[in-house]
Chain A
């Protein structure tokens, strides 16, 4: 499915989501579960704050020296036998990948989970070029079958319950209906196994890229990631440039933080470190490895106020705790990345013109800041984008007039007292005009304000 960005209709999207009782129940159940598991997983980690500091410092160093680390990665990955491509934007990335695949006559592509591939809308492009693209992560497999996009960066089908998946499989695969997760997983596994064995190429993302060694690190659970990257003769990995880590010795800190933050696991079932294609004597591995490093606006973000969003390691903890995300799910945000990290990244990557309502999709409660393993100051970034929205003229004109008046009233005790008196005197009118949205939910002003009650 080609994702048309609908971020401008954020409010309408949320209204629709709020009416979807199945979605709301699924979101609540899943995010509550992740919250509990995350807390349990971190409970025994006594050096958590120091660990976060360390990971944060490593990510800051990566951003401060990103061009150097990218160059170093390119050199070492090339030395290890990989072919590295630089893509400045989504269309370049799609072209490069399509060219690599079609030059080798690839028809069937198995895919591991990759949000960057969603960002560049890779699948529809490859399909248009006549290839069959099969998502092999269970959640991705489900939503691909449904014609949807991921609604969470690590749990793409988080918005669905097992009964919906059971009906979907029964409809599309002609299997008997079951809502038993194990049975459903077996069905998918059987269907996917055949695809793995006959695929011409595997396309994956990567959680990290190690500059010193040119390695790609994949942190996964289902084993499909390993199949995608090792079974087909050709492996194409797509990742964004900020995923660099300086060296392998930096990895353990992230392997302690990422699974705990993401799924509440102490470690994922699989951690793959892929350095170059299969060499003589290797038991497994793709014969040919291509790495596509995507910029797509990141160099520009790096030079701006919001650069800290590039520290993000895509654990999804911020969305699991976000009151807005938990309530409306990820599709409401209208583009690839949802939740707190997503609203920031979407605004930066797609531009304020296409996304400005997203910057208001936060109560500024700070729950995301509290859980971020690499200390991305999400609330500050959101505030910064709100300033930008105002500066770039995207604020609602009524809000602008209201805030301009506010500035004058707040700087003048006389106007403030007058405003207070007017609000009290005309409250029935205000309430009638404001309707249920605002005034109807506010308390009525007191007959005598505090300033006139005190000596």
Chain B
């Protein structure tokens, strides 16, 4: 099955390893990922900050790059939610693009959604190691409604122990431009999240959104905590 891979601007620029891991996972489960070379960003930074014209420019470009019928897979709950839920708003006054936005939204999968519902990766007996805890990022959980899939995958890993995190669904304080506009609160929230992670005793923390993981890794650095922060794609791909 041919799938279009939306790397997301963060993974593309800062965390390409998570993108490569996504490719390995998709190939292992019989999908042929294609990376549209013209892809950029879903437009969320502008959308969330109220710059609708700029968000629309990004969204129009996305719709053009990801045209077609193939499923779109992305290693980010937040960007998937943007396409699925906010693109229709951006094109509410443009019936043609609105229809396309809605169709595109129906084709997009966050990685763990695809791995569980389409690829059945949780039945594949992937290997894992050590102790793992999981941060449930906000848009993934509450906007996209992906709550169980990451847990299903993590608890299926042979050889790894999953340790639940207290208040796993509480925001880490990233919030896109929030981290720049209100950095003091952002850091305080990241510290609180880091403390929850440390309390689990896990040696690795994972999640489905690079922005949050970057923010968490920064808090870990500040606190001198030696807990590995890895995108769920990397963790799963290591067990292939």
Complex formed: what's the CA distance from A387 to B55 in Å? 11
Number of interface residues of A (CB under 8 A): 59
Specify which chain A residues have a CB less than 8 angstroms from the CB of B41 in the assembled complex. Answer: 406, 409-410, 416
Nearest-neighbour CB distance to chain B for A164, whole angstroms, equals 21
Q: How large is the interface on B (under 10, 10 to 19, 20 to 34, 35 or more residues)?
A: 35 or more
A363 touches B46 (CB 8 A): no
Scoring B15, B17, B51 by chain A CB atoms within 10 A of each residue's CB, the highest score goes to B51
Nearest-neighbour CB distance to chain B for A363, whole angstroms, equals 3
Q: Of all chain B residues, which has the CB nearest A415?
A: B40
Complex formed: what's the CA distance from A453 to B217 in Å? 24
Give which listed residue, B20, B47, B50, contacts A450 with CB less than 8 A: B20
Specify which chain B residues have a CB less than 8 angstroms from the CB of A391 in the assembled complex. Answer: 50
Specify which chain B residues have a CB less than 8 angstroms from the CB of A406 in the assembled complex. Answer: 41, 45-46, 51, 54, 58
Report if B71 contacts A (CB, 8 A): no
Nearest-neighbour CB distance to chain B for A15, whole angstroms, equals 5
The secondary structure that dominates the B interface is helix
A410 touches B58 (CB 8 A): yes
Report if A72 contacts B (CB, 8 A): no
Give which listed residue, A324, A388, A453, contacts B185 with CB less than 8 A: A324
Specify which chain B residues have a CB less than 8 angstroms from the CB of A360 in the assembled complex. Answer: 177-178, 181-182
Specify which chain A residues have a CB less than 8 angstroms from the CB of B142 in the assembled complex. Answer: 365-367, 369-370
B173 touches A453 (CB 8 A): no
Specify which chain A residues have a CB less than 8 angstroms from the CB of B15 in the assembled complex. Answer: 443, 446
> Known contacts being A323-B170, A441-B179, is A413 close to B37, with CB within 8 Å?
yes
Q: Which of B182-204 contact A (CB under 8 A)?
A: 182-189, 192
> Known contacts being A11-B184, A450-B16, A451-B35, is A407 close to B57, with CB within 8 Å?
yes
Give which listed residue, B11, B50, B185, B215, contacts A386 with CB less than 8 A: B50
Complex formed: what's the CA distance from A365 to B43 in Å? 17
Give which listed residue, A15, A323, A387, A438, contacts B50 with CB less than 8 A: A387
Report if A289 contacts B (CB, 8 A): no
A443 touches B54 (CB 8 A): no
Complex formed: what's the CA distance from A347 to B41 in Å? 30
Report if A408 contacts B (CB, 8 A): yes
Report if B61 contacts A (CB, 8 A): yes
Complex formed: what's the CA distance from A365 to B88 in Å? 20
> Known contacts being A444-B14, A446-B15, is A438 close to B179, with CB within 8 Å?
yes
> Known contacts being A407-B57, A441-B218, is A365 close to B14, with CB within 8 Å?
no
B175 touches A362 (CB 8 A): yes
A410 touches B182 (CB 8 A): no
> Known contacts being A366-B143, A407-B54, A411-B60, is A449 close to B40, with CB within 8 Å?
no
A404 touches B54 (CB 8 A): yes
Nearest-neighbour CB distance to chain B for A289, whole angstroms, equals 44
B214 touches A442 (CB 8 A): yes
A399 touches B58 (CB 8 A): no
B16 touches A448 (CB 8 A): yes
> Known contacts being A383-B50, A413-B38, is A450 close to B11, with CB within 8 Å?
yes
By Cβ-Cβ distance, the 10 closest A-B pairs, closest first, are: A407-B54, A386-B50, A363-B175, A410-B58, A365-B171, A450-B19, A365-B138, A366-B142, A450-B16, A413-B38
A-B contact pairs, 11 of them (CB 8 A): A14-B182, A18-B188, A365-B175, A367-B138, A389-B50, A390-B51, A416-B40, A416-B41, A436-B183, A442-B14, A454-B20
Known contacts A18-B185, A367-B138, A441-B179, then 17 further A-B pairs from the complex at CB < 8 Å, ordered by chain A residue: A15-B184, A18-B184, A323-B170, A323-B171, A360-B181, A362-B175, A363-B171, A363-B175, A363-B186, A365-B138, A385-B50, A390-B49, A410-B43, A412-B61, A420-B13, A443-B14, A453-B20
State the A residues within 8 Å of B (CB): 11, 14-15, 18, 323-324, 327-328, 359-367, 369-370, 383, 385-391, 395, 399-400, 403-404, 406-413, 416, 420, 423-424, 436-438, 441-446, 448-451, 453-454
